[in-house]
Amino acid sequence: MKLVNWFLTSLFGLLFWPFQGLDPVWALVVVSFLCGLLMVWVFGKVSNQEAIRRVKNKIRGNLLGVRLYQHDVRIVLRLQGRILRDTLTYMNYSIIPMLVLIVPLLLIIVQLNLHFSLRPLKPGESAVLKARLIHTVVLQENISLENPSGVKVETPGVRIDSEGEVAWRIRAQQPGRHLLTVRVGEQTVEKELYVGDRWGAVSALRSNSLLDLLLYPGEARIDASEKVKSITVQYRPLPISIWGWNVHWLVLFFVLSILVAFIFKGAFGVEL
């Protein structure tokens, strides 16, 4: 998983590099377009196109029959039963292609979330950094946050016994990717902090969980032997706007990619 995350993060970083000086919506539009083409191509390759085309023709014919015989209740009910049966058959033909698509689609969404969900801190902005420990007993040890020159730690660590956490308020001072170090006794765990005016890969969480490694691929997993369970930085959301309207990146991605898939299905000779 570490190798997969490194490869995908590097690939998407390279893909988005030409758009760094532009509004992030343009990069999102491009990747949505490419994903729409990928989805329709994969769907055409792994689905039974002839069977889908046949069952859709049956559905269209029965819908026409409902309109032609709308005054005959018995015929309409019979046709509606056939439409329901054929619709279920169509869904059955679509299950396998959708299951095949779900794996690459999830990996793409995780990468898009890394790039478009949050924005870097701007110089002068503050944020809260929280370190969650593997056990509340660890709170009794000496815990500190070590900062590089581009970041200022404004408060001493506040221990939250009920959550097993220690929190600090930090302030960004210089642009760049800075490494903060949480020290618990003799052990140390690093967390990246991204400061700057440009959007990019922003990792809010570093954890020792395998699931978190899948969902937050920006940084390596914390070793299970460490006393720190996770480190979180509270970044601000990255604004995505279309014609002055703020839109969540995931909504825009799905709308555009599905629209592209339907527009180009004829060019690929694919029946959706």
Same-domain check for residues 66 and 35: yes
Same-domain check for residues 126 and 209: yes
- CA 28, 33, 34, 37 torsion: positive or negative? positive
Cα–Cα dist 198/200, whole Å: 7
* Residue % of the chain over a pLDDT of 70: 100
pLDDT digits (tens, 9 = 90+) for 183-197: 998 899 999 999 998
What pLDDT is recorded for position 140? 86
Same-domain check for residues 93 and 9: yes
Place 272 in a pLDDT band, splitting at 50, 70 and 90.
confident
Same-domain check for residues 124 and 233: yes
- Which CATH number goes with the domain that contains 232? 2.60.40
Q: Look at the chain and count its residues.
A: 272
Same-domain check for residues 35 and 125: no
Same-domain check for residues 14 and 104: yes
Same-domain check for residues 91 and 125: no
Read off the pLDDT of each residue in 21-47 and give the average, rounded to a whole number.
Answer: 93
Cα–Cα dist 59/165, whole Å: 58
Cα–Cα dist 213/5, whole Å: 8
Same-domain check for residues 38 and 57: yes
pLDDT digits (tens, 9 = 90+) for 78-107: 888 989 998 899 889 889 889 999 988 999
What is the tally of structural domains in the chain? 2
Same-domain check for residues 102 and 166: no
Cα–Cα dist 31/39, whole Å: 12
Same-domain check for residues 220 and 132: yes
Place 169 in a pLDDT band, splitting at 50, 70 and 90.
very high
**Position 2 pLDDT exceeds 80:** no
Burial label for 67, CB within 10 Å (0-12, 13-18, 19+), is exposed
Cα–Cα dist 107/5, whole Å: 9
**Position 211 pLDDT exceeds 90:** no
Structure-model confidence comparison of residues 196 and 4, the more confident one = 196
Residue range(s) defining the domain that contains residue 126: 120-237
pTM (2 d.p.): 0.85
Across 173-238, the runs of DSSP E, i.e. the strands, are: 176-184, 187-195, 205-207, 228-233, 236-237
